[in-house]
């Protein structure tokens, strides 16, 4: 058995739900979300269990789920670097933090009887498979949840960029960014009560307003390939399934020029 594999459970994928709008998705989760509400460091088990339950329900619909998770609850690259530490060294430490989160999420998913594979961009044979694009796609086709750890494997790139890159590589229908808020707002809703939620917004408007949906490298990758992004609250039960069915949840960032002029975004 591969070191990153789960026990032989749930052999074979479920039949896809006929109502699914998105069949194969890349879900980007922030490391900070694993802190929950009371922690300043580490992993809140309640958050892990919530994520596992939501992902299991999504897999039950027949969706193919791949995940990228950040490491900011443990170490956030250059922002947490000690004085004099090089950016590259700090970023590699951040990549290791994503692997810790990936292993924790893998265990939580296996506890709800999902098959998983953890793939790493850095060689860690004892705990994870190496990232191999075709192998990852085959795991998804067999109904396994694939977790991509260690970012892109290179310093100077964020896990947002890793999510965009892996999403494109596996042929995902959409990138789903699970956050602590309900979507993209005119301002930070945790600081400004008057902030208004966008339900749909063109990517170019996101850039113009500096709304920081993803870092610019990741956003450019999505723009060049026309990859849609949906930002939603992963902590709200049932939202992941709603998103997969194409319901109006969170914020849909799109690249459709014809729709941009018709949208009436908040001022």
Confidence bin at 75 (pLDDT 50/70/90): confident
162 in Cβ contact with 217 (< 8 Å): no
Other CB atoms within 10 Å distance of the CB of residue 191: 7
74 in Cβ contact with 41 (< 8 Å): yes
SS (H, E, C) 62-89: CCEEEEEECCCCCCCHHHHCCCCCCHHH
pLDDT above 60 (res 4):
no
Confidence bin at 79 (pLDDT 50/70/90): low
Written as six digits, the tokens of 195 are: 């902030």
pLDDT of residue 126: 95
For residues 183-202, average pLDDT: 91
Q: Where are the domains of the chain?
A: 24-260
pLDDT of residue 6: 44
Q: Mind listing the pLDDT tens digit for each residue in 43-54?
A: 999 999 999 999
Task: Please tell me the CATH code under which domain 24-260 is placed.
Answer: 3.40.1160.10
pTM: predicted TM-score of the whole model, two decimal places: 0.88
pLDDT above 70 (res 261):
no
Confidence bin at 102 (pLDDT 50/70/90): very high
Dihedral angle, C-alpha 122, 168, 86, 30, nearest 10 °? -90
| 224 conformational bin, left if phi > 0, alpha if psi -120 to 50, beta if neither | alpha
Q: State the Cα–Cα distance between residues 14 and 243, nearest whole angstrom.
A: 18
Q: State the Cα–Cα distance between residues 167 and 171, nearest whole angstrom.
A: 6
Q: State the Cα–Cα distance between residues 229 and 223, nearest whole angstrom.
A: 10
Q: List the beta bridge partners of residue 253.
A: 201, 229
pLDDT of residue 10: 47
Q: List the beta bridge partners of residue 179.
A: 233
Q: Mind listing the pLDDT tens digit for each residue in 209-232?
A: 999 899 999 999 999 999 999 999
Among 68-82, 119-133, 204-218, which is the least confidently predicted range? 68-82
Query: What value does the mean pLDDT of the chain take?
Result: 89
């Amino acid at each position: 058995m591969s070191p990153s594999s789960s026990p032989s459970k749930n052999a074979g994928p479920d039949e896809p739900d006929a109502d699914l709008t998105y069949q194969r998705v890349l879900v980007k989760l922030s490391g900070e979300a694993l802190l929950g509400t009371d922690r300043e460091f580490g992993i809140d088990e309640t958050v892990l269990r919530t994520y596992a339950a939501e992902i299991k329900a999504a897999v039950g619909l027949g969706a193919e789920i791949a995940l990228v998770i950040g490491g900011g609850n443990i170490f956030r690259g250059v922002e947490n670097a000690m004085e004099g530490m090089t950016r590259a060294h700090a970023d590699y430490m951040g990549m290791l933090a994503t692997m810790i989160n990936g292993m924790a999420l893998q265990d939580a998913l296996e506890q709800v009887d999902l098959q998983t594979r953890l793939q790493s961009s850095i060689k860690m044979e004892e705990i994870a498979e190496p990232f191999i694009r075709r192998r990852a796609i085959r795991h998804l086709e067999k109904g396994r949840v694939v977790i991509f750890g260690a970012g892109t494997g290179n310093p100077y790139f964020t896990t947002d960029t890793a999510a965009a890159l892996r999403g494109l590589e596996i042929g995902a229908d959409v990138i789903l960014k699970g956050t602590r808020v309900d979507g993209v707002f005119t301002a930070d809703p945790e600081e400004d009560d008057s902030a208004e939620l966008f339900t749909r917004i063109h990517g170019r408007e996101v850039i113009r307003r500096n709304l920081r949906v993803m870092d610019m490298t990741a956003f450019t990758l999505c723009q060049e390939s026309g990859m849609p992004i949906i930002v939603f609250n992963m902590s709200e039960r049932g939202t992941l399934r709603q998103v997969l069915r194409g319901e109006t949840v969170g914020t849909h960032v799109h690249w459709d020029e014809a729709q941009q002029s018709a949208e009436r975004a908040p001022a």
